[in-house]
Structure 1
Amino acid sequence: MKFDVAIVGSGLAGLSVALHLAQTRKVAIISKRTLLDGASAWAQGGIAAVLDSGDSHEQHVADTLVAGAGLCDETATRYIVEHGREAIEWLIDQGVPFTRDASAEMGFHLTREGGHGQRRIIHAADATGYAVQVTLEQKVRAHPNISLFEHHVAIDVITSDKLRPKVAHGSQPRCYGLHVQDVNSGEVLTFEAEQTVLATGGAGKVYLYTTNPDTATGDGIAMAWRAGCRVSNMEFIQFHPTCLYHPYAKSFLITEAIRGEGGLLKLPPEAGAQAGERFMPAHDARGELAPRDVVARAIDFEMKKRGLDYVNLDISHQPPEFLMEHFPTIYARCLELGIDITQQPIPVVPAVHFTCGGVVTDLAGRTDIPGLYAVGEVACTGLHGANRLASNSLLECVVVGRACAQQIAASPAIANPALPDWDASRVTNADEEVVIAHNWDELRRFMWNYVGIVRTTKRLERALHRIKLLKEEIDEYYRNFRITPDLLELRNLVEVAHLIVKSAMSRHESRGLHYSRDFPDTLPKALPSVLTPRRR
């Protein structure tokens, strides 16, 4: 298992890096499930970029900075925005079937989403991520220089300070590859790579309710932290305001573009005399087009104030033909569940959607450890600040993915030392795997209850106490029993939960997605929360 580049994750970030490198490098893509099982394929709305002469980079940057509540890195934001058009053109060249509009300058329809002052979201109906991923999947499957390892779970990266004897590399460790478990056989493989890229996505599954797929367990963040990388802004967990509320609809997102095209949030029949009334204007002058953190808190407030299980999102005033053309996936899925969006409102609730913080990187994806990169939701470039602006995430994947590939291509070749095989000689088969399921459920429930949309110091302290107990149990389990994918994910989730809570406790203000009843004011100067691991 020797490659020039090993990429962990098969979302848009990982596939972008792979395709940009594959002409000159031998690349491995390691995916926990199939290539299409990550969060990128679930993205509905689209990709934000300046594609019309009526728009400008300055406006896109300004909208991003406002949504980010003063915490965005302006240099990073400007770089990513200014490279947006070439990222879109690259995707078009790959064959991505974006929705066309003959009257538009580029010939593609642009929609608008919350927080954007212009129509700048290019999309493929309401299933943009899937269209992009299917297109790029075909490319990587056909490329002779790309090896695919589906149903393989990364365990940890291998750094020079973990080798015996230790390999000197300046004053800091270097990454030389990683250990990976084959899910089907249980065998642990050693991947040797001159450069390793973490493109593992976010950590939505650390919470009970999320729009993320089951694969979003914070693996890359936890792996990088254990290896010695800093993480930043982990307290900023974005709750998407509108997840479909239905007992048979697991994690089904209702895209922000519904509100961009005129959808209105209203109180449901359970609200009594005020049923059918809009409530967003009372919370923000921008109404339904306010940034996600504002809308999610407003919905949470109304639900708790009135004892509601959900609120309604109503777009039935738009022509049926328009809705079926622009939102075919949502129309079809809701209809399966007995909801006709051309005539009825959609019941919605907030749910965890995006991890705004992550592994500290530069704009080429470089982490604190040479040879180790992080790209996409796993990383923190500074673009998203305290609240991600809608549809900037896929843009970041492509722009930083390309820059990462260019950086790797320009890096000199290195001679890797011999890497150790996985040692399972001192472990046994687990006697009670129910422990894993129990701990997983407990973690997600108390994170939802104590570290949710509205926080208090007392709630965070309770969560931290429980996390420490869980970590001890899980670490003991990990040391004594053979690993399984469920155990690896649980180990990563509890690590990420700890980082989220520690970051939240360090922020003595309310800003963006982090709202504390004990610190309701926003401090005059915005500073990132950076955690640095102790050398192990």
Structure 2
Amino acid sequence: MALCVPQDILDALTDVAMPRLSSEPGAAEMLVVNSYTIPLHRAGAIVVGSGAAGLRAAVEMKRRNVDVVILSQSAWGGTSACSGSDKQTLHTANTKDQGDNFFDLAASIGAGGAMDEDMAYIEAVGSVRAMASLQYLGLPLPQDHLGGTLRYQTDHDEVGRATSCGPRTSRLMVKVLAEEAIRLGISFFNQTTVVKVLRDKGRVCGVLAIRSKDSTETNPYGLTVYACSALVLAAGGPGELYRDSVFPNGCFGTLGLALETGLELTNITENQFGIGTRREGFPWNLSGTYVQVIPHIYSVDADGGEHHFLAEYYRSTQEMASNIFRKGYQWPFHASRMLDFQSSLIDLAIFREGQAGRRVFMDFNRNPLAIDRDFSLDRLDDDVASYLRSAGANQVLPIDRLRHMNPLAIELYRRYKVDITKDPLEFAVNHQHMNGGIAVDTWGCTNVPGIYAVGEAAGTHGATRPGGSALNAGQVFGTRVAEHIGALGAPTCTDDVTSAVAHAVEHLQKVLTNNGRLSVKGVRAEIQARMSDKAGILCTPTDVAAARREAQRLNSEIRQHGITVSRPSEAARVLQWQQMALASEAVLAALDTYIAQGGGSRGARAICDPEGEALPQTVKGPIADARFRAERDADKQEQLIVQYDGDHLVVSSRANRKHGGARSFFERDWPAWLTGDIFHSKELSPKR
């Protein structure tokens, strides 16, 4: 029997209204720099970004009496509030009947390699506090009648530590944190795009931003300065880096900004790609129950003909259907899962259909078509059949199974005028998450004093991660960053920042030109096509090396000639695309270095090589052009570091940090907490 959830409950978990912002405080000072009259605001700490991680950092700082300000390009418009990734938090499973502990959880978080052991342990230990505090703020995580949290299995998680409020979990997280930030009286500046970090004597002293509302005759671009003692970068990942992306439009992240500031980046070769609806309509990941109900997947050619293309890959209806189901908790593409007729063979098949010019759809009103025998719920692999039986999902059609298992999945698309109860859903393999980012230590500190990074902006993940752990990491490190800033002190900045602002304005003037050969539209098209076509799920050494050279050429041209800005209101976008060009080159430089050193295939990408050891098979035989290198164990033990020296990118490596060995002991370790010594951690591990 189908579950019956009242419509008002479905509405409340789908239509999540965000709070209204309070009025912005006016600027108390004005700077005159290079003929520009610029408003100047001062604070102890600035958070760039209004997603779940940034809001957590701001709220926790305010609770520690730090004078904190939030700057946001678009309040409630980022990934946390708008996009659909693995929308659940990951937490320790102390209530799991087979037992679990922080070390086990840390091992799962770092199982993909290229991750610091201490960071994985921090995320594990902090997960209980992160989840409990969200519940305290009102996040409606589901419970059983005895108070235990309802949990399920997600990608790279064999224990089943994930939980969810439905597809809007992260938006609900943003909502409760935003309400708390407003209640605490945190100043919030919306429609504010940070374009340059200000430094003085080696440490941060503020940021230069663009705000159209501050535009005047003597300040046509709307330049605004925010001086601070501490800066937290929390503006998410580089969603605009790829043409085929599930990110909301306008998500640029801060990788280019960080490189220009001298910050180190780590693991930026590591991403997540997976199936999702296209960003031209309503971008959303198709993980979880969307595929666990086993819809019919097919493609359509230019003439409108349908193709049951998965029949060209799998050997039986049961094998195909079972692997469609497994995409629910094996959502990201993983090179090794292309082998032995596993679930990422589906990603490869969909990708190849797109290359052939065909559009791919899933139809919830049809069960999968037959390969050998007709589809039947009685003929599925044991793990799949057991799950569906436990869920009571024995309905005849996928749409009825979806309505029973997760009616919110239907409601979500209906809000965007897509009725999957009637119409097929078009989708593709898209970029979903940057696992790497700005290199930070165990307190979220970067290599530049006073600058921190949290959330997807920070490179705290390894080559893979359990689904939902990104949300958990943002909450854990948002809290730790606040603790660190609060303990060390972040008084309101009173420094003279005129010189730093003048240097930043000079840089902007070099990029913004009235008659350059490059346009924003052209730069965007070039970057996104190159990244999606040459650095997606299938890469070749030759293509990546060539893409790196093309990216170098583009950045050289930008440095020499700038990018055309046709009107002042375009300035912020021009600067963001200039920084995205630099971020793109950084990713390609790291990837090219990794491949040239013999690096093999892992989570995000298959490194295709005619001499590769791994060869995906289909029912019709091997796929020769998808032969790939296997991952080397040695690569799991280190991370690639990228830094910009003002002229070119330097790629190096360092070994993963270890946990540290000794377990805590109360009497021995309490003094370090009482005196604040725990906040004076060592600098980022030196490069080898």
TM range (shorter): 0.7 to 0.9
Q: C-alpha offsets along residues 268-304 of structure 1, whole Å, 9 cap, x if unaligned?
A: 5512693994666898996753362326852342135
CA distance in 2, matches of 1:46, 1:273: 30
* Letter matched to residue 528 of structure 2: R
* Letter matched to residue 480 of structure 2: A
Task: Tell me, yes or no, if the aligned pair for 2:232 and 2:453 is still in contact at 8 Å.
Answer: yes
Match of 1:63 in 2: 108
Match of 1:497 in 2: 584
Task: Tell me, yes or no, if the aligned pair for 2:288 and 2:328 is still in contact at 8 Å.
Answer: no
CA distance in 2, matches of 1:159, 1:495: 20
Aligned CA distance change for structure 1 residues 412 and 65 (closer, same or farther; 3 Å): closer
Equivalent of 1:404 in 475, 478, 481? 481
Match of 1:339 in 2: 420
Task: Tell me, yes or no, if the aligned pair for 2:156 and 2:465 is still in contact at 8 Å.
Answer: no
Equivalent of 1:198 in 233, 238, 241? 233
Match of 1:299 in 2: 346
Q: Post-superposition shift, 1:346?
A: 4.7
Task: Tell me, yes or no, if the aligned pair for 2:294 and 2:324 is still in contact at 8 Å.
Answer: no
* Letter matched to residue 79 of structure 1: I
CA distance in 1, matches of 2:481, 2:280: 40
Task: Tell me, yes or no, if the aligned pair for 2:440 and 2:459 is still in contact at 8 Å.
Answer: yes
Match of 1:19 in 2: 59
* Letter matched to residue 368 of structure 1: N
Provide TM-score, normalisation by structure 1: 0.86
Deviates more, 1:418-427 or 1:441-450: 418-427
Pairing 1:512–2:549 present: no
Equivalent of 2:284 in 219, 232, 252? 252
Pairing 1:178–2:207 present: yes
List runs of 5+ in structure 1 lacking aligned partners.
Answer: 161-166, 168-172
Q: What SS is found at the alignment partner of 2:70?
A: strand
CA distance in 2, matches of 1:285, 1:63: 22
Q: What SS is found at the alignment partner of 1:528?
A: strand
Q: C-alpha offsets along residues 30-57 of structure 1, whole Å, 9 cap, x if unaligned?
A: 1011x20111113542111124333523
Alignment of structure 1 residues 73-92 onto 2, 5 Å = 73-92=116-135
Across the two proteins, how many residue pairs are aligned to each other? 510
Equivalent of 1:488 in 556, 560, 575? 575
Deviates more, 1:431-440 or 1:485-494: 431-440
Q: What SS is found at the alignment partner of 1:180?
A: strand
Q: Give 1 or 2 for the bigger CA radius of gyration.
A: 2
Task: Tell me, yes or no, if the aligned pair for 1:299 and 1:349 is still in contact at 8 Å.
Answer: no
Q: What SS is found at the alignment partner of 1:48?
A: coil
Pairing 1:465–2:549 present: yes
Match of 1:157 in 2: 197
Aligned CA distance change for structure 1 residues 344 and 153 (closer, same or farther; 3 Å): closer
Q: Post-superposition shift, 1:432?
A: 7.0
* Letter matched to residue 130 of structure 2: A
Aligned CA distance change for structure 1 residues 18 and 413 (closer, same or farther; 3 Å): closer
Match of 1:208 in 2: 243
Task: Tell me, yes or no, if the aligned pair for 1:17 and 1:404 is still in contact at 8 Å.
Answer: yes
Q: Post-superposition shift, 1:397?
A: 0.5
Aligned CA distance change for structure 1 residues 194 and 272 (closer, same or farther; 3 Å): closer
CA distance in 2, matches of 1:71, 1:194: 32
CA distance in 2, matches of 1:331, 1:277: 28
Equivalent of 2:641 in 527, 530, 533? 530
Match of 2:184 in 1: 143
Q: Post-superposition shift, 1:226?
A: 1.2
Match of 2:260 in 1: 226
Q: Post-superposition shift, 1:222?
A: 1.5
Equivalent of 2:156 in 115, 118, 125? 115
* Letter matched to residue 435 of structure 2: C
CA distance in 2, matches of 1:464, 1:522: 22
Alignment of structure 1 residues 369-380 onto 2, 5 Å = 369-380=448-459
Q: Post-superposition shift, 1:151?
A: 0.4
Match of 1:163 in 2: none
* Letter matched to residue 217 of structure 1: F
Match of 1:164 in 2: none
CA distance in 1, matches of 2:329, 2:320: 9
Deviates more, 1:19-28 or 1:309-318: 309-318
CA distance in 2, matches of 1:477, 1:531: 25
Alignment of structure 1 residues 213-292 onto 2, 5 Å = 213-218=248-253, 220-239=254-273, 241-244=274-277, 249-256=281-288, 258-259=290-291, 263=294, 266=297, 269-271=306-308, 274=311, 277=317, 289-290=329-330, 292=332
CA distance in 2, matches of 1:331, 1:311: 15
* Letter matched to residue 224 of structure 2: L
CA distance in 1, matches of 2:241, 2:332: 20
Aligned CA distance change for structure 1 residues 119 and 328 (closer, same or farther; 3 Å): farther
Aligned CA distance change for structure 1 residues 374 and 193 (closer, same or farther; 3 Å): same
* Letter matched to residue 92 of structure 1: Q
Pairing 1:309–2:359 present: yes
Q: What SS is found at the alignment partner of 2:455?
A: coil
* RMSD of aligned residue pairs (Cα, Å): 3.2
Task: Tell me, yes or no, if the aligned pair for 1:316 and 1:344 is still in contact at 8 Å.
Answer: no
Task: Tell me, yes or no, if the aligned pair for 1:264 and 1:278 is still in contact at 8 Å.
Answer: no
Q: C-alpha offsets along residues 437-471 of structure 1, whole Å, 9 cap, x if unaligned?
A: 12111211121111111101111122122212321
Q: What SS is found at the alignment partner of 2:398?
A: coil
Q: What SS is found at the alignment partner of 1:289?
A: coil
Pairing 1:49–2:99 present: no
Q: What SS is found at the alignment partner of 2:307?
A: helix
Pairing 1:348–2:427 present: yes
Aligned CA distance change for structure 1 residues 2 and 377 (closer, same or farther; 3 Å): same
Q: Post-superposition shift, 1:316?
A: 1.1
Equivalent of 1:132 in 131, 151, 173? 173
Q: C-alpha offsets along residues 465-497 of structure 1, whole Å, 9 cap, x if unaligned?
A: 221232133334548966712102101211110
Aligned CA distance change for structure 1 residues 313 and 419 (closer, same or farther; 3 Å): farther
